[in-house]
Structure 1
Amino acid sequence: MSRLSTNDLDRIFKSLDRKREGHVSIFELQQLLDRVGNHATLEELQILVGSPSLDYFEFFFFYESVILPKISENKEGKYDGLESDLLEAFKVFDINGDGFISSEELQSVLLRLGLWENCNGDCKNMIKVYDINSDGVLDFEEFKNMMSLSDSSKGLLF
């Protein structure tokens, strides 16, 4: 998974802080981590966080000190470095594990992460832009192309 921008983290925090109380509970944090494939028990999070909730700045610190180093670890296998990170991100979006990202999978993940409120037709259009072989889905190579092109401009597309 690629490093998230400050804007992405801000949107995620606001999405989790539904009551607008200025904090996110470790239960809400656990649900988010589970959705993106980083499983932790409430007890583990309580130890890491040291309190039952995180305010805005603690949430950013948690990402920078706990999640980001985990993302950056070099994984053994076919891919290394950036490509390994991209493969992990691809797996998050490939919900059914078929090796492709459909517009429905893209929409589901973006909505769960709070990164896009309503992307019905937009998700299909986003895939269409990077779908080189016009099969209606993104394979890993097309996903890498999308991420490298979007990362070189103003950040990620979503």
Structure 2
Amino acid sequence: MSPIRVDDLHRIFKNLDKNNSGQVSVQELLHLLDKIGIHTTLEELEKFVGRTSLDYIDFLFFYEAMVKARMAEEEEGHDQSCDNNENDLLKAFKVFDLNGDGHISCDELQSVLSRLGLWDKRSGKDCKDMIRVYDENSDGVLDFEEFKNMMSVPAPISDPEI
């Protein structure tokens, strides 16, 4: 939900206030929300609003609360998306970690890439250079954090034949 200018909010309030009482009923608000695709029940809306009608100031507070709630939902969705991405990376890591020791060795990387048709064993090269680029602690293998970095950062070009 993108923010709406105060002038537009005032115009919306005036259009909702059909009888010019300076109040908008929860039923009128419910009708507006339904029109814009936010579906809720009258009971839920009354509970959220805490009264049966709103004056203009209450209407502004209601709008602000709706925007914050929507932003929190979007952020939560983003967090879940990040969690899903991390789970996907963990599954991929486990595919490469053939012996399950929590590290990807040069032999494991080369074996999986070969099975996928992404490595030519006849080239005489090994995966040490690929691992070395992302091996932050210089232990010769990739742990999960190093693997995540490798999967999220474009590799520097060191040898066009690899």
Q: Which is greater in Rg?
A: 2
Q: TM-score, structure 1 length as denominator? A: 0.45
Higher RCO, Cα 8 Å, sep 6+: 1
Q: TM-score, structure 2 length as denominator? A: 0.44
